[in-house]
Chain A
Amino acid sequence: MLWETVRLAARAIIRNKLRSFLTVLGVVIGVAAVIAMVTVGQGSSAQVSANVASLGTNVLVLRPGRQTMGPGPREDAAQFTLKDAEALSNLSVAAAVAPTTTTAATVVFGSANQSTQVTGSTSDYLAASNWQLAKGRNFSEAEERGGAPVCILGQTVRKSLFGAGDPVGQSIRVKSVSCTVIGLFAAKGAGSFGQDQDDIVLMPIRTVQKRIEGKDDVERITVSLKKSVTAERGTRDIQNLMRDRRRIGIGKDDDFSVTNMAEIASMLTSINSVLTGLLSSVAAVSLLVGGIGIMNIMLVSVTERTREIGIRLAVGATSVQVLTQFLVEAVVLSVLGGVIGIAVGLGLAFGASRFMAIPFAPEVWVIALAFCFSACIGVVFGFFPARRAAKLDPIDALRHQ
């Protein structure tokens, strides 16, 4: 009998395609929104985890000035020097030490130009920041020490200057400095904040300091720790050394910060999950509104089909059978909306993942939950109109115009 009722319901739905479509639209949008939010959220969490791996979990970043989070001016504190970096590289915990300074500059090749970040550092930069070379070579010691005009390009810069061509061996102009391209980085993709990490020109730090910036500042020092060393121990050793070098008295606060990249990553992950939760609950509210939409249309449908209900009662349908028919109709509609919504949501999530260059991570439990929830919506919001249909008096119903 139930199968019979499902068939009756399906027939009633097919008989009025436009109304059925409008009825389920709310549920489609709600389910699609929830699925898309959760799937994109999961994907970006996965992306953050991948970024942590690309940074290397055992990387510490030193900056002058006290520890601050987010934007805002850092208090004045003495800049680092290349001597600090040298001292750090003598620590037993350090595997690679990369003193770094960045400046915005325009790079030119022929008639093509690009505004980019020029990063000055040492050959250790590749190891400390987890970069791979696609082509060419790293800086030599002589080039580093002498501040030679050489550079390694990121893929974004290469694309705008050389298109698909090979940049290695070519000469480009960085600000006013003519500079030979000796290497090309492999693509790294978007960073944790969505920035383009491949928009980079790497030069020896002395070259940047002397020929481009004209000052001896080292903005930050990236230290990658040896595998066996914990972040805590590395941080402690580095802090001790730097306090010593910067002559900070006992009981005084550090005037520099040591940031553990793994910590930042875990913070990003938790921000991410809070955002996902928030957006998903907004989407869930739209699902509720979709349910009310179903109830609305079902109530109209009961009024509109009063005569049909009268006919069914006259040929011997019991009130339970009429109730079941309308309830099943509501459930079939909302489940249909759920299924379409799941498909649309996954499609949106797939498109968004592609666009944001994050992994597409559909979760079976989310899909199952959305499906069950849409069926429940059908039962809850279908019951009231169905009961109204079942309570109709057959004589009045048959007389209804």
Chain B
Amino acid sequence: MTPLIELRAVTRSYGKGEAEVRALDGVDLAIRAGEFVAIMGPSGSGKSTAMNIIGCLDRPSSGKFLFKGAELQALDNDQRALIRRNYLGFVFQGFNLLPRTTALENVELPLIYKGIPPARRLPVARSALAKVGLQGREGHDPAQLSGGQQQRVAIARALAGNPSVILADEPTGNLDSHRGHEIMQLLQALNRDEGITIVMVTHEEDIAAYANRLIVFTDGLITRDTGAKAAA
């Protein structure tokens, strides 16, 4: 079976000559559809760079990046924007909601860029908010919501685009441990019930424990990979 996401001998370096920094130093990685992967590692280990490449926000300096078997390493900015729009959903540590914009409008955003007319996108956005348990809060501004609720809106926004993969970059980093576990239970449920592949970066062992597979980065290389547990 073709992996959903595949990195082959991927390197990513910044700067030139003496000052060159290798963030990724030849990484091979395959993630199959339906997996829940946690990526850990110290700062500067290359985990964020790997996430950016998987999230089509960045390009490898060399090596191949395959998504659903198609090579994407050579795509230009706008082509990568189309991949993000159609297959990927993002959840960030800092929530990254548009300020002074209601929850519903935030969730609508990816649908607007997909060109879906208001009549069809409103029910999609509403049901995404309902899935994360925020029905009745559609008209609230981010400022009127708690951190946990803001992160739920962000997850609903990622869900609205009907993605194959949700990329979560320290999704619980700005939350207290209680809210953090609630968010993790939500992501776990989405992975289990909706079959959405989740790739998550985290610093915390107990958060990583929600995943089915743990990958550890050190100095631009994968130093530990628990491998896929039997698919549920």
A313 at the interface (CB under 8 A from B): yes
Contacts of B122 in A (CB 8 A): none
- From 285 to 327 in chain A, residues with beta carbon under 8 angstroms from any chain B beta carbon are 307-308, 310-321
Q: Give B93-136 as 1s and 0s: 1 = Cβ < 8 Å from A's Cβ atoms.
A: 00011111100010001101111000000000000000000000
B206 at the interface (CB under 8 A from A): no
Q: Which of A312, A316, A321, A398 has the most CB of B within 10 A?
A: A316
- When C-beta atoms are compared, the residue in chain A nearest to B97 turns out to be A311
Of the candidates A4, A314, A319, the one whose C-beta lies within 8 Å of that of B112 is A4
The minimal Cβ–Cβ distance linking A32 to chain B, given in whole angstroms, is 30
A312 touches B109 (CB 8 A): yes
A164 at the interface (CB under 8 A from B): no
B217 at the interface (CB under 8 A from A): no
- When C-beta atoms are compared, the residue in chain B nearest to A395 turns out to be B57
A317 touches B58 (CB 8 A): no
The minimal Cβ–Cβ distance linking A322 to chain B, given in whole angstroms, is 9
B110 touches A315 (CB 8 A): yes
B176 at the interface (CB under 8 A from A): no
A316 touches B85 (CB 8 A): yes
Q: Give B171-210 as 1s and 0s: 1 = Cβ < 8 Å from A's Cβ atoms.
A: 0000000000000000000000000000000000000000
A316 touches B110 (CB 8 A): yes
The minimal Cβ–Cβ distance linking B165 to chain A, given in whole angstroms, is 13
**Total number of A residues with any Cβ neighbor in B under 8 Å:** 22
A394 at the interface (CB under 8 A from B): yes
Of the candidates B78, B105, B115, B161, the one whose C-beta lies within 8 Å of that of A315 is B161
B82 touches A316 (CB 8 A): yes
A11 at the interface (CB under 8 A from B): yes
The minimal Cβ–Cβ distance linking A7 to chain B, given in whole angstroms, is 9
Bound CA span A308–B99, Å = 8
Of the candidates B77, B78, B96, B113, the one whose C-beta lies within 8 Å of that of A307 is B96
B82 touches A315 (CB 8 A): no
B218 at the interface (CB under 8 A from A): no
The minimal Cβ–Cβ distance linking A26 to chain B, given in whole angstroms, is 25
- From 9 to 60 in chain B, residues with beta carbon under 8 angstroms from any chain A beta carbon are 52, 55, 57-58
The minimal Cβ–Cβ distance linking B139 to chain A, given in whole angstroms, is 14
A321 touches B96 (CB 8 A): no
Q: Which of B82, B90, B105 has the most CB of A within 10 A?
A: B90
The minimal Cβ–Cβ distance linking B46 to chain A, given in whole angstroms, is 14
B62 at the interface (CB under 8 A from A): no
The minimal Cβ–Cβ distance linking B65 to chain A, given in whole angstroms, is 15
The minimal Cβ–Cβ distance linking B81 to chain A, given in whole angstroms, is 5
A316 touches B81 (CB 8 A): yes
B152 at the interface (CB under 8 A from A): no
A316 touches B114 (CB 8 A): yes
Bound CA span A319–B78, Å = 7
Given A15-B101, A307-B96; A315-B113 close (CB under 8 Å): yes
A1 at the interface (CB under 8 A from B): yes
B58 touches A319 (CB 8 A): no
Contacts of A395 in B (CB 8 A): 52, 57-58
Bound CA span A8–B98, Å = 12
Bound CA span A178–B152, Å = 97
Q: Give A72-98 as 1s and 0s: 1 = Cβ < 8 Å from B's Cβ atoms.
A: 000000000000000000000000000
A319 touches B101 (CB 8 A): no
- When C-beta atoms are compared, the residue in chain A nearest to B110 turns out to be A315
Contacts of A308 in B (CB 8 A): 98-99
Bound CA span A398–B93, Å = 11
B157 at the interface (CB under 8 A from A): yes
The minimal Cβ–Cβ distance linking B55 to chain A, given in whole angstroms, is 8
Bound CA span A394–B85, Å = 13
Q: Which of A4, A15, A394 has the most CB of B within 10 A?
A: A394
A318 touches B98 (CB 8 A): no
B86 at the interface (CB under 8 A from A): yes
Bound CA span A11–B112, Å = 14
Bound CA span A337–B110, Å = 31
Contacts of B109 in A (CB 8 A): 311-312, 315
A318 touches B82 (CB 8 A): yes
Given A316-B81, A316-B113; A11-B101 close (CB under 8 Å): yes
A315 touches B90 (CB 8 A): yes
- When C-beta atoms are compared, the residue in chain A nearest to B109 turns out to be A315
Contacts of B52 in A (CB 8 A): 395
Bound CA span A313–B56, Å = 11
- When C-beta atoms are compared, the residue in chain B nearest to A15 turns out to be B100
Bound CA span A228–B208, Å = 107
The minimal Cβ–Cβ distance linking B149 to chain A, given in whole angstroms, is 18
B101 touches A311 (CB 8 A): no
A321 touches B101 (CB 8 A): no
Of the candidates A11, A316, A321, the one whose C-beta lies within 8 Å of that of B84 is A316
The minimal Cβ–Cβ distance linking A251 to chain B, given in whole angstroms, is 88
Given A4-B112, A15-B101; A317-B81 close (CB under 8 Å): yes
The minimal Cβ–Cβ distance linking A316 to chain B, given in whole angstroms, is 2
Bound CA span A307–B77, Å = 18
Contacts of A314 in B (CB 8 A): 55, 57, 84, 90, 96
Beyond the given A314-B57, A317-B85, could you list 5 further A-B residue pairs with CB under 8 A, ordered by the A residue number? A315-B84, A315-B110, A315-B113, A394-B57, A398-B92
B interface residues, Cβ below 8 angstroms from A: 52, 55, 57-58, 77-78, 81-82, 84-86, 88, 90, 92, 96-101, 105, 109-110, 112-115, 157, 161
**What are 9 sample pairs from A and B whose C-beta atoms fall under 8 A apart?**
A1-B115, A8-B112, A316-B81, A316-B85, A316-B110, A318-B77, A318-B113, A319-B81, A394-B57
Q: A-B pairs with the 6 shortest C-beta distances?
A: A316-B85, A315-B110, A318-B78, A316-B84, A318-B81, A15-B100
